[in-house]
Amino acid sequence: MSDKPASTAQRVRTRFAPSPTGFIHLGNIRSALYPWAFARSQKGDFILRIEDTDLERSTQAAVDVIIEGMAWLGLDHDEGPFYQMQRMDRYKEVLAQLQAAGHVYPCYMSVAELDALRERQMAAKQKPRYDGTWRPEPGKTLPPVPEGVQPVLRFRNPLDGVVAWDDKVKGRIEIANAELDDLVIARPDGTPTYNFCVVVDDIDMAITHVIRGDDHVNNTPRQINIFRALAQEPPVYAHLPTVLNEQGEKMSKRNGAKPVTQYRDEGFLPDAMVNYLARLGWSHGDDEIFSRQQFLDWFNLDHLGRSAAQFDEAKLRWVNAQHLKAMDDAALAELVAAVLQQRGVEPDDRLPAICGLFKDRCETTHMLADWAQAFYTEVHPKPEDLAAHVTDAVKPALATLAAHLEQVAAWDKASIAAAIKQTLAEHGLKMPQLAMPVRVLVMGTPQTPSLDAVLALQKTKKVLGSLRSH
Ligand code: GLU
């Protein structure tokens, strides 16, 4: 059979097939982003499949993080989630078909015999592999079937030839069948094993492109042989290089990777995350900042990176800051309002303007909420800031400013600027000499955007109260 990829006329169908055995982190979710983007960009379908057959390690909490994380990032699926545990009957049905067609045979080799075989092979410096003892061949006499032993079922891997595919990331890969032994595809209790379930699913779900982590490259030739035994053409494969953490190790929960939902809880924007993750293994020229739509317009499987990408939190924060800055104030205010409300702070209609004024100095919506909070709750300046800026020398000027501000015809930026200017002139001060103490008293910190703009967004009463509090 040929290695021709699925016909391009076919409707593209991709899938994300996570195992819910740990909290899904950024390295894992990137394996959802690319198949999602490819399906969307090709007007195809994206399927979510939960590979939950490892009963001991799979948890509902991990499934929840997958589903919540994908929903938050806007990686919407067209079908699923399908759960492999709910498809056991189907796997057994296909297994029976394979068996009837002679592609599967029972193997009674015990664990002890397998261990002994492995040891002999290792001692002889050979690659450990099943030796075909129970593989029926014309003219071969099989050992007597032991009493009371439930066999595993093994897949009759072809003995000769090569399995080859044109990987969209790695290029052509060829594996000699002689390298592959006969895989166990059903356990003694009849439950099918991983590689077999994946193939049945990919066939039933009519997957045209498998885009997944390159830790599965070794499974691919085995899966392709199972496809062929089932008289199906395998899909196109794209195996993505690993995502490394900041220390250069494979990203994993064990070495500090955070669940993807934690970024949501820390104030990152879904579009910024999509942008950042997209660049971890794919590029469009030198473009670093792009919208979700641009990503979908540009994405294809031809520009996937071949080498491992490294996570960089500082870059992620920078990307988030760029998206935050570009966001519409009203839309941003909705996100910031949610953060404030979680903190028990009730915002009002000043919030969009507050977001507009502070957004270009913030990396996350939480940082923006920290600023916004100074407009809705009491501020607590640090004693050292008070000592440094609210000096006895400047206190008379603060009183003057309060008096002028009390008189302004309208509480707006222009009138406030005029009151400040007048105070500076009357006290012979330079802007920073007055602006710093006012900021400390009103905002709790000496560094803010321009004073008139900040004060215009504060409530008059609060400003006057703060200026007269020292
Ligand atoms: N369940 C596998 C994993 O989480 C993915 C299998 C696949 O994409 O084929 O690594």
Whole-number Å distance, alpha carbon 242 to ligand 1 midpoint, is 13
Please name each of the domains of the chain with its CATH number: 13-84+193-244 (3.40.50.620), 91-186 (3.90.800.10), 260-373 (1.10.1160.10), 383-467 (1.10.10.350)
Determine the atom of ligand 1 nearest the C-alpha atom of 212: 8
Determine the atom of ligand 1 nearest the C-alpha atom of 198: 9
Atom 7 in ligand 1: residue holding the nearest Cα: 17
Whole-number Å distance, alpha carbon 185 to ligand 1 midpoint, is 17
Determine the atom of ligand 1 nearest the C-alpha atom of 219: 9
Instruction: Check residue 455 and give its pLDDT.
Output: 98
Cβ–ligand 1 contact at 413 (below 6 Å): no
Whole-number Å distance, alpha carbon 181 to ligand 1 midpoint, is 21
Which amino acid appears at position 425 of this protein? A
Indicate the top mutation candidate among 31, 51, 84, 226 to test ligand 1's pocket, ranked by most ligand atoms within 8 A of CB. Answer: 51
Cβ–ligand 1 contact at 444 (below 6 Å): no
Whole-number Å distance, alpha carbon 159 to ligand 1 midpoint, is 27
Whole-number Å distance, alpha carbon 17 to ligand 1 midpoint, is 5
Determine the atom of ligand 1 nearest the C-alpha atom of 28: 4
Look up the pTM and report it: 0.91
Cβ–ligand 1 contact at 252 (below 6 Å): no
Indicate the top mutation candidate among 48, 198, 210, 239 to test ligand 1's pocket, ranked by most ligand atoms within 8 A of CB. Answer: 198
Cβ–ligand 1 contact at 325 (below 6 Å): no
Cβ–ligand 1 contact at 22 (below 6 Å): no
Average pLDDT per run of 10 along the chain, which is 470 residues long? 53 97 91 97 97 93 95 98 97 96 96 93 93 95 94 97 97 96 94 96 98 96 98 97 92 85 96 97 95 96 93 97 98 98 98 98 98 96 97 97 97 98 98 97 97 98 93
Cβ–ligand 1 contact at 52 (below 6 Å): no
